Copies of this chain bind each other. A is one copy, B any other.
Amino acid sequence: MQDGNALAARLDIGPGEDRISVSREKGLNRVLHILEFLHTTQRAVGIGDLAKGVNAPRSTTYTLVRELVDAGLLEMAGDGNRVYFGKKLYLYGMDYVRGNDLLRRGRQEVDNLSRETGETSELCMLQSGRYTIVHSSPGTRPFRISSATGLQIPLPWTASGRLLLAGFERAAIEDMVSEDDLVLPDGRRLRLDDFIADIATAKATGHCITSGLVDAYTKCLAAPVFSAPGKVEATMCLVVPIDTSEAKTGELIALLRGRAASLSIS
């Protein structure tokens, strides 16, 4: 039985009313953070670390994790006291795939494409304002250029990003692109206006090629998949060595555009 601390809550020090109010967070938000955190770590995490990682109180984290484990969204990882994603999430994910023609066919097409061309191929989409690699297939080069599925990269770094933003107003684009996003991995800084101009060009030509943006050795070729006339729902892209010949590049772009078009609706 708790003695003393009865009115402990008297922490709002000072007369000044500094409303420190360490904002209490909604359980659902905490859960969303937990999922996102696990997604970035890509490995099972101890509950204590998890609490630190999402900076939630330990007690809260324990309760939430227990509930999520009971629900099957998370699972205790075999070895000890770590948690990671659970079967339920896998099942829901498969439901999503099943209900989503585009994704289903897109995955297939990406696999075909990378088998046929030997290059790394990817299906990309906007995911709540962020560029996301939804599916990727490695290609057969000795030094393969790979990127993990689910990876999130700033829009301006990619060819696909330029196509995905084709339908948006300038204001919306500014919203989605932070200052940091405009700084390329090598430190160069992209001008927002240039980026927006790129988007317009991409929209007009119906494809996009970027060279040496994410890294110095690769070129990125992308073509749009439409869900309705003018609405870019996804892109397919090929990642090729930067010294790929003009001719070869043109050939690949043509192939890519064809495949992307075949996925488009109407």
Using known A-B contacts A93-B91, A227-B78, determine if residue A99 contacts B84 with beta carbons closer than 8 Å: yes
Are B99 and A85 in contact, CB atoms less than 8 angstroms apart?
yes
A153 to B39, CA, bound (A): 30
Contact status of A91 and B149, CB under 8 A, knowing A127-B72, A128-B71, A128-B72: yes
Task: Judge whether B42 and A99 touch: CB under 8 Å.
Answer: yes
Q: Cβ of A42: which chain B residues have Cβ within 8 Å of it? A: 95, 98-99
A230 to chain B, nearest CB (A): 15
Q: Looking at the assembled complex, report how far the CB atom of A31 sits from the nearest CB atom of chain B, in whole angstroms.
A: 6
The residue in chain B whose Cβ has the minimal distance to the Cβ of A92 is B89
| B-side contacts of A35, CB under 8 Å | 88, 92
In contact, A92 and B97 (Cβ under 8 angstroms) = no
Count this chain's copies in the assembly: 2
> A98–B88 Cα gap in the complex (Å)?
14
- Contact A134 B87, CB 8 Å, known A28-B28, A95-B150: yes
Is residue A246 contacting chain B, with contact meaning CB distance below 8 A? no
Residues of B within 8 Å of A64, CB to CB, are: 28
| CA–CA, A79 and B88, complex, Å | 27
Cα–Cα distance between A78 and B228 once the two chains are bound (Å): 10
| Chain B contacts for A125, CB-based, 8 A | 87
Q: How far is the CA of A260 from the CA of B96 in the complex (A)?
A: 28
CB <8 Å contact, B31 and A70? no
Q: Are A89 and B99 in contact (CB under 8 A)?
A: no
What are the residues of chain B within 8 A of A128 when measuring CB–CB?
A: 70-72
Q: Please determine whether B85 and A92 come into contact, CB atoms closer than 8 angstroms.
A: yes
Residues of chain B contacted by A31 (CB below 8 angstroms): 28, 31
B89 lies within 8 A of A4 (CB): no
Interface: A67 (CB within 8 A): yes
Contacts of A127 in B (CB 8 A): 72, 87-88, 91
Q: Which residues of B contact A94 (CB under 8 A)?
A: 93, 149-150
Residue on B with the closest CB to A149?
B94
8 sample A-B contacts, Cβ–Cβ < 8 Å, listed by A number: A4-B70, A26-B27, A85-B92, A87-B127, A87-B132, A89-B89, A93-B94, A95-B150
